[in-house]
A and B are shown apart, each in its own frame.
Chain A
Amino acid sequence: MVLSERDNHLIAEIQDGLPLSSRPYREIGRRLGLSELQVIERISALQDGGVIKRMGIVVRHHELGYTANAMVVWDVPDDQVDSVGEKLGSQPCVTLCYQRPRKLPEWPYNLFCMIHGRERERVLEHIDSIVASQGLEQLPRKILFSGKRFKQRGAKYR
């Protein structure tokens, strides 16, 4: 999707959040010199074009009690990455699932997924049940729990 200068202004204007008032798109339009309808049309187009993944709430995991956050990494044969990735991605507790490059010899893992939970024990049980139900016992894996969070901010784009 090709972005116009107007799209870029709109993207920058709403990146920190939507106005918390009854007609948020009208208010954005007022700031940018656009009509409410124009704002609604462009935001819809950006969402349809995949530039906006979705609108809505972005939570803070820790503050919601999801303090056990595990990055589970797997060493999957290249020709099985797609099928294993799709299996993992469809698990309800998996919030991200990506293929990434190996860094041999130190880092052999090429499939990463994030699993969030309230307690470490529960997260581990969950991982065990995924491994068993999806038949992933043969794949080398490591579980990296997060320790301290040093920085969290949304990315800035414009």
Chain B
Amino acid sequence: MDDTDRAIINRLQESFPITDRPYLQAARELGIEEDELIRRLQSMLESKLLSRFGPMYHAERLGGGLSLCAMRVPQHEFERVNEQVNVFPEVAHNYARDHEFNMWFVLATETPERIGSVIREIEQLTGCRVYNMPKEEEFFVGLKLEV
């Protein structure tokens, strides 16, 4: 990753033009050629620096359900429970964290109602309680990570 890649990441985390030649427009702002921008994006996607290049959706406005869930899993059962949880396609990401509440995952479902049923299925399968912590209010943030 060089300075041009960093400039691309910083600029295109803010927005991407919705015009007939969006790469050309963005490339001009960055002072590079259109095909260079496309090539660099391709390469950063292939090397997994970027997760995606496209829309970031607002799940609830799409009619879907989204929630953060936490579990307190005894250390010696962590691996088993973790494997069981990750099998669910609705589990979008899952992180271990250093706290008594040690497993944190995001559920993304096609409907809001499905959140509750997936939680019950996970509880039945794992034998552990799932603490459902859906967002109640969102405070504005930039959704951007400077590199």
Contacts and interface: CB of A to CB of B under 8 A. Distances in A.
Interface string A45-75: 0110111111111111101111001010000
A66 to B, nearest CB: 6
Interface residues of A, number: 77
Interface string B31-72: 000100010011001011111111111110111101010101
A150 B82 contact: yes
Contacts of B68: 98, 100, 112
A127 B131 CA distance: 26
Interface of B: 1, 8-9, 12-16, 18-24, 34, 38, 41-42, 45, 47-59, 61-64, 66, 68, 70, 72, 82, 86, 89, 91-101, 104-106, 108, 110, 131-147
29 contacts: A14-B55, A17-B53, A20-B41, A21-B38, A22-B34, A25-B18, A36-B20, A47-B18, A49-B61, A53-B55, A54-B14, A54-B143, A55-B15, A71-B97, A81-B137, A95-B143, A95-B144, A98-B136, A99-B136, A101-B133, A107-B70, A107-B131, A116-B145, A146-B96, A147-B97, A150-B82, A151-B92, A155-B92, A157-B64
B21 A57 contact: no
Nearest to B89: A156
A151 B93 contact: yes
Contacts, number: 239
B39 to A, nearest CB: 9
B95 A22 contact: no
